[in-house]
Amino acid sequence: MAECSFTEESLEKNNFQVNTKNITIRTADGSTLSGKINIGEKERVSDVFTKTDSPFVVLFDAATANGCGRVFFINKTHIVWVEPED
């Protein structure tokens, strides 16, 4: 995957608690995406997937085979596995 960079100031300007974690996601169609998620006040990456009502997870500063710096809204029902990289 390509190396990407993202500044977190844009999240902090909007008064969001910023606690980013690097992850890799494999989707049901076989796609692999690497990027960052903001876990905010949650303790673990898994809490984003199990302790929230939102059907989507936002992956930003994402790298795919087609480039980097992208933002994806991924439906949780289409995720096969998630690997935290931190």
Q: What is the pLDDT of residue 14?
A: 64
What distance in Å separates the CA atoms of residue 41 and residue 71, rounded to the nearest whole number? 21
* CATH code of residue 35: 2.30.30.100
Return the SS3 of 73: strand
- Identify which of 33, 35, 32 has the alpha carbon closest to the alpha carbon of residue 20: 35
Q: 35 is in which domain, residue-wise?
A: 9-84
Q: Amino acid identity of 71? A: V
Q: Give every residue of the chain whose pLDDT is below 70, as ranges.
A: 1-14, 86
Per-residue confidence (pLDDT) for residue 1, from 0 to 100: 47
Residue 29 lies in a domain: yes
**What pLDDT was estimated at residue 16?**
73
Q: How many domains does the chain have?
A: 1
- Any domain includes 4: no
Query: Would 51 be classed as within a structural domain?
Result: yes
Residue 1 lies in a domain: no
Within a domain: 67: yes
| Sequence-distant (≥ 6) Cβ neighbours of residue 4 within 8 angstroms | 35, 61, 62, 63, 68, 69
